Amino acid sequence: MTVEPAALQVGDVVTVTVGSVAHGGHCVARYEGRVLFVRHVIPGEQVQVRVTEEGPKGRYLRAEVVDVVDPSTQRVEPPCRFAGSCGGCDFQHITIEEQRRLKAHVVREQLTRLGKVAWDDVAWTGEVQSVPDLDPARPGLGWRTRVRFAVDDDGRAGLVRHRSHDVIAIDDCVIAHPLVDVTEVTTTQWPGVDEVSVSVSPESDDRAVQVGRARGRKWLEHAAAGRSWRVSSGGFWQVHPRAADALVDAVMDLAQPKPGEHLVDLYAGVGLFAGVWGSRTGGRVDAVEAHRSAAADAEVNLADLPLARVHPVAVERFVVSEATLRPDVVVLDPPRVGAKRAVVQRVAAWRPRAVVYVACDPAALGRDAAYFAEFGYRLEALRSFDLFPMTHHVETVALFVLS
Ligand SMILES: C[S@@+](CC[C@H](N)C(=O)[O-])C[C@H]1O[C@@H](n2cnc3c(N)ncnc32)[C@H](O)[C@@H]1O
């Protein structure tokens, strides 16, 4: 079937050459002037794709690969038989080294486009660093310590198809930590609930199963950075078992804490960065966390630090009510939406000597980097980590200093 360019529509199949990777894990391809976002492909490949969806105002189309006509040398057989249908992993068809190169490309592209970053002045290797595998024989697998299963109308737990509510029956998840015990969850009936979350702590060999959306029923003990951490189920903890140590090392190395210095830790979770800062410097620490049970955990986790205080409030309120603070350093680790302009403006008004920003979304980091520049802080250094192998996700730690 010959397809007229203007008439390209959902269901059509066309052959395209894959362009560069974009934020979100898909790659960009063009067909007679139309932009297509294609999943499960690699830059440089020639592929046949089927159009699956039209974006807002027809600005772009989404497409799924039907046939790889000319594969990349970086293409591999996915280690999981549900890859492609399950919405969880989108990079399993790519060598682990190429996954990291693609993520580095996205970090650079987002910070250039959204953050207007002048790279000459930024200390960055340009690479996404790996963290040690849990089992060296299974690179990039067996790391996920928290898995949220969706439950269908028949009470069966599984994982959700990409951009859909369909629940796919699975009996294995290769990225899940073995303690999650996927088959036990997916062979159990869960009537009357829409999700089951399993969190595990490899350090304490413990597991918490949360049925439905109720929070804080049980807590797990984690170990990282030489301390132990109580985390209630539903509260935030880094999902890769090597992540907390890698991020603490990066944050401390970039911030270079000095004895007695005052830290404000925004979006503090159960107090990871605040606790390490307080124990290393002996200085004042203010940890700000809106989630009530996470803040209660932080109280427990920081109880040995006499100058640490937990503020169980939204960051947006704290930065306004505490406008006269003069911290030496601010760490912020916001959710995917980022901190946004009003928070960045208030943080910059505190005039800290350093701001260390931990970002799970490079686009949010890019937008906030532009706000930091607007309010007198420039990006000085960057580290990126592959804390979510087999997926497009990447974690980045950025140091901003007064310009
Ligand atoms: C990415 S987690 C980081 C947690 C911690 N820094 C860590 O590494 O373990 C983000 C945290 O911010 C909290 N949070 C999200 N929005 C918030 C807000 N507006 N104000 C305060 N805390 C918020 C969430 O509950 C979550 O604990």
CA of 264 to the centre of ligand 1 (A): 13
pLDDT of 1 strictly over 80: no
Domain 5-70 class?
mainly beta
- Collapsed DSSP state (helix, strand, coil) of residue 211: strand
- Look at residue 397 in the predicted model and tell me its pLDDT: 98
Q: Decide whether any atom of ligand 1 lies within 6 Å of the 68 Cβ.
A: no
Q: Per-residue pLDDT averaged across 158-179, rounded?
A: 91
Q: Decide whether any atom of ligand 1 lies within 6 Å of the 268 Cβ.
A: yes
Q: Decide whether any atom of ligand 1 lies within 6 Å of the 290 Cβ.
A: yes
CA of 85 to the centre of ligand 1 (A): 31
Determine the Cα angle at 290 with ends 288 and 293, to 5°: 105
Query: Where does 96-136+222-402 sit in CATH, by number?
Result: 3.40.50.150
Task: Indicate the top mutation candidate among 266, 289, 316, 368 to test ligand 1's pocket, ranked by most ligand atoms within 8 A of CB.
Answer: 289
- Look at residue 10 in the predicted model and tell me its pLDDT: 94
Tens digit of pLDDT for each residue in 244-278? 999 999 999 999 999 999 999 999 999 999 999 99
pLDDT of 3 strictly over 60: no
- Nearest residue (by CA) to ligand 1, atom 18, is 314
- Collapsed DSSP state (helix, strand, coil) of residue 217: coil
Q: Per-residue pLDDT averaged across 134-156, rounded?
A: 95
Closest listed residue to residue 133, CA positions, set 102, 170, 177: 177
Closest listed residue to residue 16, CA positions, set 91, 41, 99: 41
CA of 236 to the centre of ligand 1 (A): 7
Q: Starting at the edge strand that comes first in sequence, how are the strands of the sheet with 377-386 ordered?
A: 128-130, 377-386, 395-402, 354-359, 329-332, 263-266, 285-288, 308-311
- Look at residue 11 in the predicted model and tell me its pLDDT: 96
Tens digit of pLDDT for each residue in 293-337? 999 999 999 999 999 999 999 999 999 999 999 999 999 999 999
pLDDT of 214 strictly over 80: no
Q: With contact defined as beta carbons under 8 Å apart, do 356 and 365 qualify?
A: no
Q: Decide whether any atom of ligand 1 lies within 6 Å of the 263 Cβ.
A: no
Tens digit of pLDDT for each residue in 362-392? 999 999 999 999 999 999 999 999 999 999 9
Question: What confidence tier does 212 reach under pLDDT thresholds 50, 70, 90?
Answer: confident
Q: Decide whether any atom of ligand 1 lies within 6 Å of the 385 Cβ.
A: no
Q: Is the pTM of this model over 0.75?
A: yes
Tell me the C-alpha distance between 102 and 106, whole Å.
6
Place of tokens 């630090």: 305
- Look at residue 6 in the predicted model and tell me its pLDDT: 55
Q: Which residues, at least 6 apart from 209, have a Cβ–Cβ distance to it below 8 Å? A: 185, 196, 197, 198
- Look at residue 162 in the predicted model and tell me its pLDDT: 82
pLDDT of 199 strictly over 70: yes
Ligand 1 atom nearest residue 288's Cα: 21
CA of 54 to the centre of ligand 1 (A): 34
DSSP H helical ranges for 272-395: 272-281, 292-301, 315-321, 341-349, 362-374
CA of 291 to the centre of ligand 1 (A): 8
Q: Which residues, at least 6 apart from 346, have a Cβ–Cβ distance to it below 8 Å? A: 319, 320, 323
Q: Per-residue pLDDT averaged across 162-166, rounded?
A: 84
- For the chain, the structural domain boundaries read 5-70, 96-136+222-402, 146-218
86 among known catalytic residues = no
Cα 59 vs. chain centroid, distance in angstroms? 27
Tell me the C-alpha distance between 281 and 256, whole Å.
10
Tens digit of pLDDT for each residue in 77-128? 999 999 988 888 999 999 999 999 999 999 999 999 999 998 998 999 999 9
- Look at residue 215 in the predicted model and tell me its pLDDT: 58
Tell me the C-alpha distance between 178 and 370, whole Å.
41
Q: Decide whether any atom of ligand 1 lies within 6 Å of the 314 Cβ.
A: yes
- Nearest residue (by CA) to ligand 1, atom 13, is 267
Tell me the C-alpha distance between 220 and 91, whole Å.
30
CA of 268 to the centre of ligand 1 (A): 5
Place of tokens 């299974």: 138
378 forms beta bridges with 401
- Look at residue 217 in the predicted model and tell me its pLDDT: 61
Tell me the C-alpha distance between 91 and 390, whole Å.
5
Residue 276: what are its φ and ψ, rounded to 5°? -70, -40
- Look at residue 161 in the predicted model and tell me its pLDDT: 87
- Beta pairing, strands 157-160 & 167-168: antiparallel
Could you tell me the two tokens for 266? 């925004």
Task: Indicate the top mutation candidate among 229, 245, 263, 267 to test ligand 1's pocket, ranked by most ligand atoms within 8 A of CB.
Answer: 267
Residues above pLDDT 90, as percent of the chain: 90
